[in-house]
Amino acid sequence: MPGERLRAEVFALFAEHVSSGKVAFFERAGMDFALGRREGAFLWDVEGERRLIDCHCNGGVFNLGHRHPDCIAALRTALDELDIGNHHLISPQRAALAESLAELTPGDLAYTVFGVGGGEAVDLAIKVARAFTGRSGIVSARGGYHGHTGLALAAGDEKFRAPFGPAAPGFKQVEFGDADAMAAALGPHVAAVLLETIPATLGIVVPPDGYLEQVRWLCDAAGALLIIDEVQTGLGRTGRLWGVDHYGVTPDLMVLGKGLSGGVFPLTATVFRRELDSVFHDDPFLHISTFGGAELGCPVAARVLELSSEPAFLAHVRSMGARFSAGFGELRDAHPGVLAGSRGVGLMLGLELTDPAFGPLLSKTAFDSGLLAIYAYHDPSVVQFLPPLTIEPALADEILDRLDTALTALEAIVGGRRGG
Ligand SMILES: Cc1ncc(COP(=O)(O)O)c(C=O)c1O
């Protein structure tokens, strides 16, 4: 069993058969960790020696912590009766889960097509918007991230597309937060605007006041649909069930992924307005995903929705978010040369460093201090901070202590270098 191999053997095997590049990257970074046991907020390496507190959660997959007992129980029960199911057939499990999503999502979002990955779900959202409007243009945010499948990739950053051949036509990116740029990009050719509520890979950028409301208004004026990607911001991460709940904006299509899996069975969702279901009236088999909405995963996702929509759970996220933000303020005062501040909503947080070179360095010193915290790919001056939403105050305080140590180590590395 791979889990029983020593770390060095796993690294060698992985380098030989999965990705030599990743192994080289982690060796260069001095992060000699191969994932072993995991439970709650914790990850252990395969040798069981090193323990990390997960402050990344794979972008929200582990919103409820690792191996949440209710998710495991739902999956075990499902295994007694179900299997993947057949995407072509009528399914009670998918119907029930879609009903819950219709009840919990804002406005008239009434229909759901299930997928396996977030990119696939974004692709479907774009397909529905194009088919419904008869237009092809898609406007998204520069530096946004929607996945690495075809249309999602085309809506994302140039860097991820460049090596892979000609760009798909019809896509345009504008600065996130710039309503004038959005207005200029919209026109009669645009089918949809696609945005994350709080772009994570761009560095947990909180939308400026009124921005999303303005985008909603601009879409309506231009006859374009609004697709909101809640793959990271959804399911309580921001202290409300959906990120858009903070801004009073109702999208035409909403994309969910990551946390919907409960961390134990991959499942994603494209939820859209009732009217948009007309796209599939002539041919309901126009879109197929063999494993999309696999029946084994539906009871898990249903339990995730129940837990995540509890008012007490959402209040807990807000209170822990406030605790961390206060703690980050103290850390900034203690380490002003490297830590400029923090930003975010609820437990979707980012640590703002004084220099883009510091993000990767803090990821490393945090690792050495027992924390998994990863810098934002498109803004390495920010370290993303996404702990499990179930985190308790004592562990939050331990994380803040460990961050203090990590920031001290960062200061030692950069030799007291002072940023802006
Ligand atoms: C905001 C957002 N949208 C979409 C995706 C793509 O999801 P997946 O990796 O499941 O395809 C991601 C993945 O990180 C994401 O962060």
Establish if 222 belongs to a structural domain: yes
Distance 203 CA to ligand 1 centre (A): 14
Establish if 349 belongs to a structural domain: no
Q: Where are the alpha helices (DSSP H) in 199-286?
A: 211-222
Establish if 50 belongs to a structural domain: no
Q: 5 by DSSP, 3-state: which?
A: coil
Establish if 263 belongs to a structural domain: yes
Give residue-wise pLDDT tens across range 185-222.
Answer: 999 999 999 999 999 999 999 999 999 999 999 999 99
CATH code of the domain in which 294 resides: 3.40.640.10
Does the CB atom of residue 119 touch ligand 1 within 6 A? Answer: yes
Distance 152 CA to ligand 1 centre (A): 9
Q: What is the pTM of this model?
A: 0.96
Establish if 136 belongs to a structural domain: yes
Mutating to test ligand 1, I would choose from 201, 202, 258 the residue with most ligand atoms within 8 A of its C-beta, which is 258
Q: Sheet harboring 51-54: ordered strands across?
A: 35-39, 42-45, 51-54, 371-372
Domain interval for residue 185 = 112-278+286-308
**Total domains in the fold of the chain:** 1
Mean of pLDDT values over 408-416: 91
How far apart are the C-alpha atoms of 382 and 205, rounded to whole Å? 10
For residue 369, list its beta bridge partners.
Answer: none
How far apart are the C-alpha atoms of 234 and 301, rounded to whole Å? 13
Q: Name the residue with the closest Cα to ligand 1, atom 16.
A: 232
- Dmax (CA) for the chain in angstroms is 66
Does the CB atom of residue 200 touch ligand 1 within 6 A? Answer: yes
Q: Name the residue with the closest Cα to ligand 1, atom 2.
A: 146
Establish if 89 belongs to a structural domain: no
Band of residue 2 on the pLDDT scale cut at 50, 70, 90: very low
Give residue-wise pLDDT tens across range 79-119.
Answer: 999 999 999 999 999 999 999 999 999 999 999 999 999 99
Burial of 318 (0-12, 13-18, 19+ CB in 10 A): middle
Distance 122 CA to ligand 1 centre (A): 9
Distance 95 CA to ligand 1 centre (A): 24
Give residue-wise pLDDT tens across range 16-62.
Answer: 999 999 999 999 999 999 999 999 999 999 999 899 999 999 999 99
Distance 324 CA to ligand 1 centre (A): 25
Establish if 193 belongs to a structural domain: yes
Does the CB atom of residue 145 touch ligand 1 within 6 A? Answer: yes
Establish if 297 belongs to a structural domain: yes
